[in-house]
A and B are shown apart, each in its own frame.
Chain A
Amino acid sequence: MQILRKIAVPILAILAFLVVWEALVQINGWPNYVMASPSDLPAAYAQFWELFLIGSWQTLWRTVAGLGLAVVFGLLLGMVMGFSQIMRDALYPLLVGFNAIPKATLVPVLALLFIGQHDFNTVMMAFLISFFPIAVSVGIGLSTLEPEYRDILRSLGASRFTIFRKIALPKTLPEFFGALKVSVTLAFIGTNLVEIVSPHGRGLGALFLSGQTNSNYPLMFAVLIALAVLGIVLYYAVVALERTFAGWAERQAT
């Protein structure tokens, strides 16, 4: 019963969303080139299913690769900032400044730096846009660790690394996964940004662009929906990881 409800509720919500969308288009009598309706989409998927598969795969792997880099780099940066007040003071303004730059402006920079390396550029963008939340949350998690937690092991002569591995790291996992949920959608945006903006791109973003070039509006909307589905899949992959590694932090509803 519980499980059925957990699955049925979101599906019903999505169906309701599609119905409202369809109704809006029908009632207003909007033509395709203003706003496609859900009923236009199956035809688009049927016609271009191969391109959708290829594009989805390209978008997905580059996003995951970028996110993987962001996790490694973000964790390292978070550790450095979490353990050292000096590094925290030094890095925060730089990080905040970097995060404030609209990442679209970096597309041409990357494109010039690594000419023709489309995959690399895309992964880089996914990485650059998504490491910030991870670094900040891990940094804060580590720097706010209560001293007693450290003292339990420190009083036994444990090394800093042991304290990190046994206490600080697991204790920071909930914050880390919270950040990862934000990062996963950001990485996705980064990948698509490059795919859409750069000429001769690949992935779903490029498919969107070609839909635009050919005035195939149902295709464009079909791509948007495919992107949304991919985003949801990635997000829930992170949720599944969180359940596995930080399930202890979940409070039972009382």
Chain B
Amino acid sequence: MKNLIEIKGVRHSYKTRSGPLPVLDGLDISVPKGEFCAVVGPSGCGKSTLTRLVAGLMKPDAGEVWLDGQKVTSPRKTVGMAFQNPVLLEWRTILDNVILPLEIVAPSMPRRDRVARAEELLEMVGLSGFEAKRPSELSGGMRQRASLCRAIVHKPDVLIMDEPFGALDNFTREDLWQTMRDLRAKEPFTAVLITHDLRESAFLGDQVVVLSGRPARTQYILDIDLPQDRTIDMLYTPIAADMLHILRDQIKIAQGRDPEAA
């Protein structure tokens, strides 16, 4: 199968007062079309930089990012983004927030069609009836659902998520994982999910990429051997426990600790 996202030997550093600070140093990630790639790593290892590179918001110092056979040098309309902060526009209703990308990507699309598309997505994530509400009237989990709808409303090839569930409580988070799973069944997209939650990476990912500590390189790739229609309960099976163990050990290595130690 062809890889939709191809990240090859990417290096990047930021300028700081005390000289350049390398954050990525030898990053290789391949994501086949339709697959879900979860990226985990110690905090501050450059995961967010990775999202900005894939989105074309910045260019790497070295190496290449390819999307759908084209080298990424600038932003493109086929990408959707979601962040830890749902960044909904407070002056718009939930419906108009979801519509926002269509106003940029498909300016000639009739309002009626835009509304229909947004309503369809809002229904999928369980937000029917909240179309006319303002973001401030919704709970954190609901806002994040709306934010996800906005990220995929224009049917992007690639959905890039930077810890979208990081600020939610555990139960809400698990709800959203399932919402994400159900969305994937209905909406075809290739996803990159940055997370620091190993269970989340195993529940959602087809492959989990473990990054090393800063400067980050691809340290380990684990294929998640669970069926597509996963349930939270599966995370408590021996096979999942084994995978989580492997990931945990890899994170310890990334942090520069001994995986055998407690």
Contact surface of A with B, Cβ cutoff 8 Å: 146, 148-149, 151-158, 162, 166-167, 170-171, 173, 246, 248-249, 251
Contact = CB atoms under 8 A, between A and B. Distances in A.
Name the prevailing secondary structure of the A interface residues.
helix
Contacts of B154: 156
Interface residues of B, number: 27
B262 interface: no
Contacts of B45: none
A248 B91 contact: yes
B85 A157 contact: no
Contacts of B100: 152-153, 166
A186 B80 CA distance: 46
Most chain B beta-carbon neighbours within 10 Å: one of A148, A156, A157, A171? A156
Contacts of B105: 156
6 contacts: A152-B100, A154-B75, A167-B89, A170-B89, A170-B91, A246-B91
A148 B85 contact: yes
Contacts of B134: 248
Contacts of B75: 154-157
Nearest to A153: B104
Contacts of A162: 104
Contacts of A171: 89-91
Contacts of A149: 87, 89
Contact of A146 (B55, B87, B103, B104): B87
B180 to A, nearest CB: 19
Contacts of B83: 148, 151
B81 A152 contact: yes
Contacts of A158: 104
A166 B105 CA distance: 14
Nearest to B79: A155
A82 B105 CA distance: 26
A170 B100 CA distance: 14
B76 interface: yes
B76 A166 contact: no
Given A151-B55, A151-B57, A157 B91 contact: no
A121 B55 CA distance: 53
B81 A155 contact: yes
A72 to B, nearest CB: 22
B8 interface: no
B56 A146 contact: no
Contacts of B74: 157
A157 B81 contact: no
Contacts of A154: 57, 75
B57 A155 contact: yes
Given A151-B83, A155-B81, A156-B104, 7 more contacts: A146-B87, A151-B57, A153-B104, A155-B56, A157-B74, A157-B75, A171-B91
A157 B77 contact: yes
A173 B136 CA distance: 17
B149 to A, nearest CB: 13
Given A151-B55, A248-B134, A156 B91 contact: no
Given A151-B55, A248-B134, A157 B104 contact: yes
B197 to A, nearest CB: 20
A156 to B, nearest CB: 5
B248 to A, nearest CB: 30
Contact of A156 (B77, B85, B90): B77
A167 B97 CA distance: 11
A166 B103 contact: yes
